[in-house]
Amino acid sequence: MSRHFFRITNCDGGTIEHPAEILEGHSAWTETAMVFVDLSRSCQRLLKENAEWRLELLGSQKEPLYRIRLIAETCEAVASTACLTADPGAAS
């Protein structure tokens, strides 16, 4: 098993790190994606408008290996330019 760390950053800027042992032969990406899915299910009531959550998988020296971000954007008049820039197909 390889020693890794999951770093979770929530929309309020709080950060938590959890040690993780990932089995050899088990994809670190697959493990990261599964943890993110579990996290998003359990934290859905905490997600706020115009917020970002990040999950990073860090190596044994705490170097970033993978990052998954969840960004919630409000696409109303105030934020419409940013949302259209992020989604070019929406302007058509």
In this model, does residue 46 exceed pLDDT 90?
no
CA angle 23, 44, 84 (to 5 degrees): 105
CB atoms within 10 A of CB 6: 19
Share of the chain above pLDDT 70, in %: 75
Across all residues in the chain, what is the average pLDDT? 79
Task: For residue range 58-90, list pLDDT tens digits in order.
Answer: 998 999 999 999 888 887 755 555 555 555 555
Query: What would the mean pLDDT of 10-33 be, rounded to a whole number?
Result: 82
Name every residue whose Cβ is closer than 8 Å to that of residue 20 and which is 6 or more positions away in sequence. 3, 4, 5, 6, 31, 35, 57
56 versus 42: which is more confidently predicted? 56
For residue 25, the enclosing domain spans 2-91
Number of domain units in the chain: 1
In this model, does residue 7 exceed pLDDT 90?
yes
Identify the pLDDT of residue 25.
Answer: 57
